[in-house]
A and B are shown apart, each in its own frame.
Chain A
Amino acid sequence: MNAPPQPECIVEVKDLWTVFGTHVVHRGIDLCVRRGEVMSLVGGSGSGKTTMLRQMLALERPTKGEVRVFGHSLHGEDQDAVRALRNRWGVLFQEGALFSALSVYDNIALPLRELRTLDESLIRDLVMMKLEMVGIEGRHATKMPSDLSGGMIKRIGLARALSLEPELLFLDEPTAGLDPDRSESFVSLIKDLRRELNLTVVMVTHDLDTLVALSDRVAVLCDQKLEIVGTLNEVVHNPHPFICNFFQGERGRRALEAVQDVLSMT
């Protein structure tokens, strides 16, 4: 019963450089996402958050440096291992990225069918369970993505991301484009699922309320580097001008006041 030693970091970024032409996006970034935590990547528009997320998903290759997920190098020689990794993570894209030619049901069933071993009745039960987990009624299962609202697309995108029971979940702007009410319920959905499924989450977001509500730690990308990685409290008290602008603006203060209230109550 000797399990191989497990890496401390689920996602590990080592000395990452990204250069487009002469434009340097990332300048030697190091980051470690620990098991079971929610890590939020924040930064201004164009600071390379989404690029970094895509590098963590092996969709893009960094100019220099290494990204390791579950201890496997994503851009190394062993591409079979990377393919196996893809069954262990789930991704929620910003616009949902549902397959527009498939119904809601088939969208979620697709990754399960790709395993080629499960029978159709088990797949049906699993799909319906995922739909229920994200709060979508069964009668919507035969609809096409073009018939759905933005909030439903996000939920179904999440159900599809969860269909292979991943250990690691990537969220790209999970609440962008949702109204405050929907985004709040989406945040609490992610919170519940995270607790229930024991997930590690890497999230890119602009939305302060989402950031405050979900993150265990926050990584701030700014001036091509990671300015600070730490808990929300540590980050907020960092004097860097971008962080000040981001959190001490009118919106930031309001979101943070809400947290302070919660903290003072406990």
Chain B
Amino acid sequence: MAVRPPSAQTPPVVTERVFPDGSRRIELAGSWNLRGLAAEFATLAPRVRTLAADRGWNWDLTRIDVLDHAGAMVLWRAWGSARAPGLVLRPEQEAIFRTLQASKDEIPPRVSREWLWPLLALGSVALSLGRNLREILTLFGQALLDFTWAVRNPARAPWRELSAAIYHTGTQALGITALVGFLIGVTLSYLSAHQLRLFGADVFIVNILGLSIIREIGPVLAAILVAGRSGSAMTAQLGVMRVTEELDAMSVMGIPHTLRLVMPKMVALAVSLPLIVLWTSALALLGGMFAARYELGIGFTFFLSELPNAVPIANLWLGLAKGVVFGLLIALVACHYGMQIEPNTESLGLGTTSSVVTSITVVILADAVFAIVFSDVGLPG
């Protein structure tokens, strides 16, 4: 029998032979390796098991072309972790079965699940909420300390990081915020125009658009876009720095993370988000103006001259203040989750998701607080 080179693949074959003297023999042939078995495992494994259950069979493995550990394991399990009666092997097969025989029958430790798991899950959510709050507060405090230090030592403040962060979060966000702001303005104006025309109150389009965009929609829209865009980028950046041990490298050089990475990002967003808010509101008003002109025939000059009368200037300041606060919150949440990331891919994904979801939630919460606290500021009548 010629020994075939190992890569020639033939299907595994089981032949039962009964000899005239009453002895019975099972002859195995073909490729008893993982590749050969994988295709026919569903039929072959039960067959081998039933044959092995009858101890009257002798087993002859010498005609097998290729036997590997997986093939041997299938037979070994069928034989009940022992050698079959009358087993005939080639020398190299002998070696494989010797390894199997020597192996301890180890069972991987089971990860048991507590039956109280709903309660435990609830508790761990509550605990992690508390822990996150405390850590965000700590991070904020540390960033505040770093900020005062930087103000006192302006020569050693991280100016380069600050300007890079303003560029990334501000300048590079102009395009997308302009597009979304403009389209929202058009939509809002178009829908309001239909309703207003029913009551013949066309001119109030200026009040509706001016007040809602400058006071609410501009800041919130800009914050949500920036949270999705820059917040996730910040978290991912810090997370990858953790994975690649860059954070540790900074620590051993004596450069504090919060001073170089967190504080500049918070300051940058506190500076750039109000400007983005201004920009988004302006573009949304522009969009609204266009739609009002074509839908209601209200001219640009009338719209622009009526705007200061309809919207008290306090609303603009309120919008900008929201921008500053939202910017701080987004950067704080993003950096917090970035620092929490552990060096594995799953944690990176989870951290980035939590960062964006949390910062958008926090922004909307803060907006509600603004609405309550400033309910009698800047509203005419």
Known: A138-B107, A139-B109. A129 touches B69 (CB 8 A): yes
Q: State whether the Cβ of A228 lies closer than 8 Å to any Cβ in chain B.
A: no
In this assembly, does B34 line the interface, its C-beta being within 8 Å of a C-beta of chain A? yes
> Which of B2-10, B174-182, B196-204, B255-263 lies at the interface?
B2-10
- In chain B between 34 and 69, which residues have their CB closer than 8 angstroms to a CB of chain A? 34-35, 37-39, 41-42, 45, 68-69
Establish whether residues A35 and B70, one from each chain, have CB atoms under 8 Å apart when the complex forms: no
A146 CB contact (under 8 Å) in B34, B37, B342: B342
Give Cα A6 to B4, complex, Å. Answer: 10
B17 CB within 8 Å of chain A: no
- For the complex, is A141 an interface residue (Cβ under 8 Å from B)? yes
Residue of A whose beta carbon sits closest to that of B4: A3
Q: Residues of B contacting A137 with CB < 8 Å?
A: 106
Give CA–CA (A105, B109) in the complex, Å: 10
Query: Mask for B25-36, Cβ within 8 A of A = 1, else 0?
Result: 000000001110
* Contact partners of A197 in chain B: CB under 8 A: 68-69
Number of A-B contacts (CB under 8 A): 92
Of A15-23, A58-66, A111-119, A211-219, the one with at least 4 CB within 8 A of chain B: A111-119
B45 touches A6 (CB 8 A): no
Size band of the interface chain B makes with A = 35 or more
In the complex the two chains form, what is the Cα distance from A4 to B45 in whole Å?
Answer: 28
Q: Is the CB of B8 within 8 A of A105?
A: no
B residues in contact with A6, CB < 8 Å: 5, 7-8
Give the contacting residue for B6; candidates A105, A141, A198; CB below 8 A: A198
Choice from B45, B96, B103, B342 contacting A119 with Cβ under 8 Å: B45
Q: Does B346 contact A (CB under 8 A)?
A: yes
B95 interface neighbour in A117, A133, A167, A196, Cβ under 8 Å: A196
Whether the Cβ atoms of B73 and A124 lie closer than 8 Å is no
User: Within 8 Å of chain A (Cβ to Cβ): is B344?
Assistant: yes
Smallest beta-carbon distance A12→chain B, Å: 14
Residue B153, interface by CB 8 Å: no
B119 on the A face (CB < 8 A) = no
Q: Counting CB contacts under 8 A, is B343 at the interface?
A: yes
Interface residues of A in 178-204 (CB under 8 A from B): 196-198
Alpha-carbon distance A119/B4, docked complex (angstroms): 29
Q: Does any Cβ of A come within 8 Å of B142's Cβ?
A: no
Min CB gap B168→A, angstroms: 28
Residues of B within 8 A of A4 (CB): 8
Would A129 and B38 count as touching, CB distance under 8 A? no
Please tell me if the beta carbons of A35 and B104 are within 8 angstroms of each other in the complex: no
Evaluate contact between B34 and A165: CB separation under 8 angstroms.
yes
Taking A117-B41, A122-B77, A198-B6 as contacts, is the C-beta distance between A128 and B108 under 8 angstroms? Answer: yes
- Nearest-neighbour CB distance to chain B for A205, whole angstroms, equals 24
Give A111's nearest chain B residue, CB to CB.
B34
| A234 vs B327: C-alpha distance when bound (angstroms) | 68
Determine if B108 and A144 form an interchain contact, defined as CB atoms under 8 angstroms apart.
no
Residues of chain A contacted by B70 (CB below 8 angstroms): 126, 165
The distance in angstroms between the C-alpha atoms of A157 and B104, with both chains bound, is 21
Does B74 belong to the interface (CB within 8 Å)?
yes
Other-chain residue from A117, A122, A127, A165 in contact with B33 (beta carbon distance below 8 A): A165
Query: Interface on B for A, CB 8 Å cutoff?
Result: 2, 4-8, 33-35, 37-39, 41-42, 45, 68-70, 73-74, 77, 95-96, 99-100, 103-104, 106-109, 111, 342-346
19 contacts between A and B (CB under 8 A): A88-B7, A100-B346, A101-B346, A105-B108, A115-B34, A118-B41, A124-B108, A125-B77, A128-B107, A129-B69, A129-B100, A133-B99, A138-B104, A138-B107, A138-B109, A142-B111, A164-B35, A167-B7, A196-B96
